[in-house]
Amino acid sequence: MKVAITVNGQETTADVEPRLLLVHYLRDVLGLKATNIGCDTTSCGACTVLLDGESVKSCTVLAAQADGSSVTTLEGLSSGPDDLHPVAAAFRAEHGLQCGFCTPGMVMAAVGLLSENPKPTEREVRDGLEGNLCRCTGYHNIVRAVIAASGQDPDEVTGTSPRPGVERSPAGGVAAAPGFSTGGAE
Amino acid sequence: MIPVGFEYVRATSVDEAISLLVEHGEEATLLAGGHSLLPVMKLRLAAPEVLIDIGRLSELSYIRVEGDEIAIGAGTKHRALEASELLAKECPLLPAAAHTVGDPQVRHRGTIGGSLAHGDPASDLPAAVLALGGTIVLRSPRGQRTVPITGFYTGVFSTVRDPDEVIVEVRVPRTGGAGWAYEKFVRRANDWAIVAVAVVDGRIGLANMGPTPLRASAAEAALADGASIEEAAALADQATDPVSDVPATAEYRRHLARVLTKRALTTAAGAAG
Amino acid sequence: MSILGTRVQRVEDPLFLTRGAVYTDDLVDERLAGALHLTLVRSPVAHARITSIDVSAAREAPGVVAVVTGAEIGLEPVVLQGGAPKETARPFLATDKVRFVGEPVVAVLTEELYQGQDAADLVEIDYDPLPAVVDPEEALKGEVLLFEDLGTNVVGGFGLDKEFDEHLFDDCEVVVTQKLVNQRVAAAPLETRAAAAVWGDDGRVTLWASTQNAQSARDAVAGWLGVERDVVHLITPDVGGGFGAKIGADPEFALVAQLARITGRAVRWSETRSENMTGMLQGRAQIQTITIGGNRNGDVLAYRLDVLADAGAYPRLGMFLPYFTRQMAPGVYDIPKVESRARTVVTTTTSIGAYRGAGRPEATAAIERAMDLFAAEIGMDPAEVRKRNVIAPDKFPFTTKGGATYDSGEYAKAIDKALEAADYAGLRAEQARRRERGDTVALGIGVSAYVEITGGGAFAENASIEVHPDGTVTVLTGTSPHGQGHATAWAMLASEHLGVPVEKITVKHGDTDLIPRGAGTMGSRSLQTGGVAVYQAAGELVELAKQRAAEVLEASVEDLEVAEGAVNVRGTTTSITLAALAEKEPLKVQTKFDSGAPTFPFGAHVAVVEVDLETGRAVVDRIVTVDDAGPVLNPLLADGQRHGGIAQGIAQALLEEVRYDDEGNPITATFADYAFPSAAELPSFTLVDMATPTPLNPLGVKGIGEAGTIGATPAVQSAVIDALSHLGIRHIDMPLAPLRVWEAIQAAKGDA
């Protein structure tokens, strides 16, 4: 069957099996690999994207159900590595990602959260991210990042003291993904 | 992770969905938000041959006052229930229960009709609607019928809905200032309830205390007879049949039902206006 | 101004936050064009003989290119863990017998991913069930044997050469014994396991794999394939978490390579989460008996630790972890008499490997429980008892009765810092008030003190640094980050000497053709070996640059200094950039750093929990931690490692447990059933800083990666039990999930 989905502002269309999951449409048909698959029980949220502006788990939506709709993935959020969307920038500033696997889904869930609750409390952030699992960060800095992205002070909102050490933010970043030296991913 | 292959058709109206159900018979299943159905299909525990998508029928998405009831389209999403100012004012138990379903992403897709049709005794909305004493409106080639929620569930994942019937509406009473509360016990925030208790206007609905959502009738009767909250809550697990599984034994569930009922009744008594 | 010690945001992040990192399943590479998808048929039973395998229907399914059984795979069974008995060799695809739910039996290769499960569903395998054995104590009895030829289920042990000393506790006024369970947990990194392989016309195989160590993975796979090491070119793409479970190689990597060889096509594999929850190595799983003795004044005189470790069905790295447990048994305490032993048994379950802490959390949880039980027995405050017994700061280096030589530490100071930051006295007062009022929400305070051994058993690491004519720098490291931020941290270390900004420094790892030798990232080894090697290499490059610049600038080396990417004649404007030097002649150094010994980070955690006495549900309200791993290179990254470790530590104490039913069926094998926490279940953490250097490397650094986990688990377990101490409860096994806590409360009331 044919589906037509606007993804990151671009119209896309393909002939797909009805059972094709939206996450596979994004990853395999369109080649947008940022959105990840972390589980098979709709538990982890690594596959979170925005569907018509609302956060959804793209592993539990058929591409057919998104036909005629508009999807935003992590790739569609920032205009480039040097010009990060405020939520993505906050994740970087607060070290809200380590291995990065949960990150695309986490960032999109955070974007969704803030669109529905622009000035959340710590409790509201934690509850609002209940559908997104992370094994690396312990969530501490993710929560800070979402609070910072909302324009609030993470130290104040979480009641923690500022951590020591001078802050530095190197521009942009290296050209090649670290460690992936010969895979031709560029 | 990958469902067994199926045919997909999109219904453009409820009546068309009904005709498609008639046409495809037992091989077909309705697809609304898909957040009860698709997870089960991805694990290949279910493999319908035809999915009839009713997820985009705006005729099924509404929340409105009708006399002393609220009529809710079966396709109304949990998110809409959660955010509804009308429900917050007229029937606050329902949005409170909807808020606890899954997580935000799930609530953006799942529907009240889908949740009620799926019939998982651990789900939140069936227990809440049961406590509210709501009714379910179904449509089939034979016309429309209304079934009180008390008669809707027959067993685990089993309802009286005929294979060619579509749930079109759920009706709940306007509860006015009646005290209410929803107490849900989980290990993790987006888990299904280990046990949940919905209280409104002296009625008590239990989730995950048996093969269907249940009313804690003995406790309700005791309250009506003037028993204290403590005394009534101690009867909350009467005539229930909870299972033992990973997070809880049957005995623990019984205990939780009593504790949560006590807490819910206490909150409801405090909230009564 | 030094860049060391500053909060440098990660250079990895701009790409990770826009295009996303590139994990093995994301790879788009022309060598993998048209790759076949591997779907494995795995055993649904825990222990059975295979009586028939019928793949005929599967072979006819749409898109199927091959269906391969163990008889056809062309790989001999291998003992996966060096040192394990030869009888425990594991076939790559089972033929006669399966020994755990999830053991691979048949490989299905399809053109498209979605066709794989359809075809796999058509494979028919007849299993003749055998009794399962899930409990290590049952396995010890040997009534049901996994490997009949071995004649026992015991596959390893330490300290079994002598009997326990029956007089060990003779001089103790007080002796307490307790059986403990350090439960099996799942590593559950968000990225499951994945690999892709293709053979080239040159007879070599390019293998991409999600691993924590490309070089040892390459060695293992080459051995399993029966080829020389340099036939295998292993590349590590970005890795979505490992936590020890991705150390080295899994047999599935060799399967992928072999299937690529057999079919002459590229093959890719990416397991589902359900497969991962039975197929990936799991952690912990020790049953321990502790005995602690001492005097009523609080002195601990003797400690005995008896470990029964579960190896799972086929022995893997888990077989050796009890060695670390024994080595770290006495913890931070100066205990005059310590004895221990460990036995490892196989069971019809998923194999056990390393998981954040790998043998040391087990030791810490045991000794900390012992200290609490001793304190309760003599009626002394648990923090006081600890401080009384820690190794004094002037005694380092200190060799314990467990056999480890601790390099540096100030244990009482760490405890005091944590207690003060937590307002311990205030907490005790609040606890007392709640008890007096009869509150249904009890407050519990748990204190843990820990020391842990880092270095991963591999104290040497390589690094090379090259400055290019365009002024950029490439660092090659033998470490293997999977979230730790080495691209940023190693760039900082290089930048410190070279004066080149981190944006211009690329750090590469994980490609065995580029970096043939390296020991990867595990055991919290990376900074103290690989990082120091980078720092050392940068220093050597500076010296080399100065030598070359001295000739060019006609100056003497003593008058030269390197700053901001150039060699300058001190006090003048005469200089030449490193880039210009590189243009004349390649400017590159390669070095190796070997610290020769492990380091011992340490700390103390204070956990504050609230326990709902009516439901048994415990929640961490606050946790205050001191985690001292020496000087901090990048506080942003170090804090992140502490946070992640603390979260996993809390999760083991309160929530996580891999469970099997009596038939060996896993009942927590999806993310819906396995309770690892979301943000909603955890608080923000309070970190307190302390930095005690080690003399073992020039930077004075130890390893931080696992410390948070090791300290948090016992602190939280202790806190929940402490919340219930007024009910007479002295011990509850982990996880202290609501059901278990409630049952303990009922038992204490006599209502069991």
Task: Tell the residue number behind the tokens 């094998």, with chain if given.
Answer: C669
Distance CA A23, CA A108 (A): 14
Domain match, C625 and C570 both: no
- Among C553, C572, C594, the domain boundary falls at C594
Are B151 and B160 in contact by the 8 Å Cβ rule? The answer is yes
Confidence band, pLDDT 50/70/90 cuts, at residue A160: confident
CATH number for the region B7-53 comes to 3.30.43.10
The three-state (H, E, C) secondary structure of A141-160, written as one string = HHHHHHHHHCCCCHHHHHCC
C258 assigned to some structural domain: no
Are B109 and B33 in contact by the 8 Å Cβ rule? The answer is yes
Are C74 and C92 in contact by the 8 Å Cβ rule? The answer is no
Say yes or no to pLDDT of B84 above 50: yes
C440 assigned to some structural domain: yes
Nearest CA in chain B to A127: B189
Residues of chain B contacting residue A61, judged by C-beta atoms under 8 Å apart: 34, 38, 109
Task: Tell the residue number behind the tokens 């750093």, with chain if given.
Answer: C593
Domain match, C391 and C470 both: no
Residues of chain A contacting residue B4, judged by C-beta atoms under 8 Å apart: 19
Are C741 and C733 in contact by the 8 Å Cβ rule? The answer is no
Confidence band, pLDDT 50/70/90 cuts, at residue A185: very low
Percentage of chain B modeled with pLDDT above 90: 98
- Measuring CA to CA, which residue among C622, C598, C615, C624 is closest to residue C695? C598
- Measuring CA to CA, which residue among A110, A100, A114, A148 is closest to residue A131? A110
Domain match, C448 and C462 both: no
CA triplet A42, A47, A53: central angle to 5 degrees? 105
Structural domain count of chain C: 2
B window 70-109, beta carbon within 8 A of C: none
Are A30 and A10 in contact by the 8 Å Cβ rule? The answer is no
* B246/C673 Cβ within 8 A: yes
Domain match, C445 and C464 both: no
C408 assigned to some structural domain: yes
Confidence band, pLDDT 50/70/90 cuts, at residue C278: very high
pLDDT of amino acid B272 = 58
Confidence band, pLDDT 50/70/90 cuts, at residue A165: confident
Say yes or no to pLDDT of A179 above 60: no
Are C358 and C321 in contact by the 8 Å Cβ rule? The answer is yes
Distance CA C585, CA C577 (A): 13
C481 assigned to some structural domain: yes
Cite the beta strand spans of C187-324 per DSSP E.
194-199, 205-209, 232-235, 267-270, 282-294, 300-312
Distances (CA, A) of C29 to C206, C547, C591: 12, 42, 32
Distance CA C176, CA A175 (A): 60
Does residue C125 sit in helix, strand or coil? strand
H helices of A60-185, where? 86-93, 103-116, 122-128, 140-149, 154-158
Task: Tell the residue number behind the tokens 């949005």, with chain if given.
Answer: B95
Find the domain containing C526 and state its range. Answer: 456-594
* C274/B249 Cβ within 8 A: no
Q: Which tokens is C124 given? A: 């028919």
Say yes or no to pLDDT of A183 above 80: no
Q: Tens of pLDDT along B22-46?
A: 999 999 999 999 999 999 999 999 9
The domains located in chain A, with CATH, are 2-76 (3.10.20.30), 86-158 (1.10.150.120)
Domain match, C556 and C693 both: no
Task: Tell the residue number behind the tokens 């917050």, with chain if given.
Answer: B88
Percentage of chain A modeled with pLDDT above 90: 85
Are C301 and C293 in contact by the 8 Å Cβ rule? The answer is yes
Distance CA A121, CA A124 (A): 5
pLDDT of amino acid A168 = 80
Say yes or no to pLDDT of B224 above 60: yes
Q: Tens of pLDDT along B231-259?
A: 999 999 999 999 999 999 999 999 999 99
C436 assigned to some structural domain: yes
H helices of C453-556, where? 486-498, 526, 532-553
Domain match, C309 and C392 both: yes
C87 assigned to some structural domain: no
H helices of C635-728, where? 635-654, 707-723
For residue C136, say if its preceding peptide bond is cis, omega within 30 degrees of 0.
no
Distance CA A89, CA B8 (A): 41
C322 assigned to some structural domain: yes
Percentage of chain C modeled with pLDDT above 90: 99
The three-state (H, E, C) secondary structure of chain B, written as one string = CCCCCCEEEECCCHHHHHHHHHHHHHHEEEECCCCCHHHHHHCCCCCCCEEEECCCCHHHCCEEEECCEEEEECCCEHHHHHHCHHHHHHCCHHHHHHHCCCCHHHHCCCEHHHHHHHCCCCCHHHHHHHHHCCEEEEEECCEEEEEEHHHCEEECCEECCCCCCEEEEEEEECCCCCCEEEEEECCCCCCCCCEEEEEECCEEEEECCCCCCEECHHHHHHHHCCCCHHHHHCCCCCCCCCCCCCCCCHHHHHHHHHHHHHHHHHHHHHHCC
Residues of chain B contacting residue C118, judged by C-beta atoms under 8 Å apart: 2, 4-5
Say yes or no to pLDDT of B83 above 70: yes
Backbone angles phi, psi at C707, to 5 degrees: -60, -45
pLDDT of amino acid C751 = 52
Distances (CA, A) of C30 to A27, A184, C22, C548: 17, 8, 15, 42
Q: Tens of pLDDT along A60-90?
A: 999 999 999 999 999 999 999 999 999 999 9
Are C538 and C498 in contact by the 8 Å Cβ rule? The answer is yes
Average the pLDDT over C503-507 and give the result: 94
Say yes or no to pLDDT of A181 above 80: no
Distance CA C204, CA C145 (A): 40
Are C240 and A99 in contact by the 8 Å Cβ rule? The answer is yes
Nearest CA in chain B to C752: B251
Percentage of chain C modeled with pLDDT above 70: 100
Domain match, C673 and C740 both: yes
Touching chains, C (3+ CB pairs < 8 A): A, B
* C667/B249 Cβ within 8 A: no
Domain match, C496 and C425 both: no
- The fold of the B180-271 domain, in CATH, is Enolase-like; domain 1 (3.30.390)
Distance CA B89, CA B63 (A): 12
Element housing C325 (H / E): helix C321-327
- Measuring CA to CA, which residue among C316, C250, C241 is closest to residue C480? C241
Distance CA C282, CA C333 (A): 29
List the domain boundaries for chain B: 7-53, 60-173, 180-271
Domain match, C414 and C496 both: no
Interface check for B256 against chain C (CB to CB < 8 A): the answer is yes
Confidence band, pLDDT 50/70/90 cuts, at residue C343: very high
- Among C562, C594, C626, the domain boundary falls at C594
Bridge partners (DSSP) of residue B257 are none
**B3 → closest Cβ in A19, A55, A65:** A19
Domain match, C660 and C697 both: yes
- The whole-angstrom distance between A4's CA and the closest CA on chain C is 21
Task: Tell the residue number behind the tokens 């996580």, with chain if given.
Answer: C656
C50 assigned to some structural domain: no
Task: Tell the residue number behind the tokens 């993804």, with chain if given.
Answer: A7
Which CATH number covers residue C470? 3.30.365.10
Confidence band, pLDDT 50/70/90 cuts, at residue C7: very high
Question: From the CB of residue C645, how many other CB atoms can be counted at a distance below 10 Å?
Answer: 30
* B53/A65 Cβ within 8 A: yes
Say yes or no to pLDDT of B190 above 70: yes
Q: Tens of pLDDT along A112-139?
A: 999 999 999 999 999 999 999 999 999 9
Distance CA C352, CA C360 (A): 15
Interface check for A55 against chain B (CB to CB < 8 A): the answer is yes
- Among C594, C626, C650, the domain boundary falls at C594
Distance CA A125, CA C431 (A): 29
- The whole-angstrom distance between A116's CA and the closest CA on chain B is 10
Q: Which tokens is B163 given? A: 């294979």
Identity of the residue numbered C252 = E
Domains B7-53 and B180-271 alike in fold: no
Contacts of B142 (CB under 8 A, 6+ apart): none
Distance CA C484, CA C520 (A): 12
pLDDT of amino acid B271 = 65
Distance CA B166, CA B28 (A): 12
C window 293-332, beta carbon within 8 A of B: none
Mean pLDDT rounded to a whole number for chain A: 92
Domain match, C681 and C714 both: yes
Mean pLDDT rounded to a whole number for chain C: 97
Contacts of C569 (CB under 8 A, 6+ apart): C553, C555, C559, C560, C575
Q: Tens of pLDDT along C368-380?
A: 999 999 999 999 9
DSSP secondary structure string for all residues of C482-505: SSS-HHHHHHHHHHHHH---GGGE
Nearest CA in chain C to B47: C118
Confidence band, pLDDT 50/70/90 cuts, at residue A171: low
Domain match, C507 and C652 both: no
Q: Which tokens is C341 given? A: 């032993």
* A109/B105 Cβ within 8 A: yes
Instruction: Read off the DSSP letter of residue C69.
Output: E
CATH number for the region B60-173 comes to 3.30.465.10
Average the pLDDT over C645-672 and give the result: 98
The angle that helices A140-149 and A86-93 make with each other, rounded to 10 degrees, is: 140
Q: Which tokens is B23 given? A: 């046409």
* C30/A102 Cβ within 8 A: no
Q: What is the ipTM of this complex?
A: 0.97
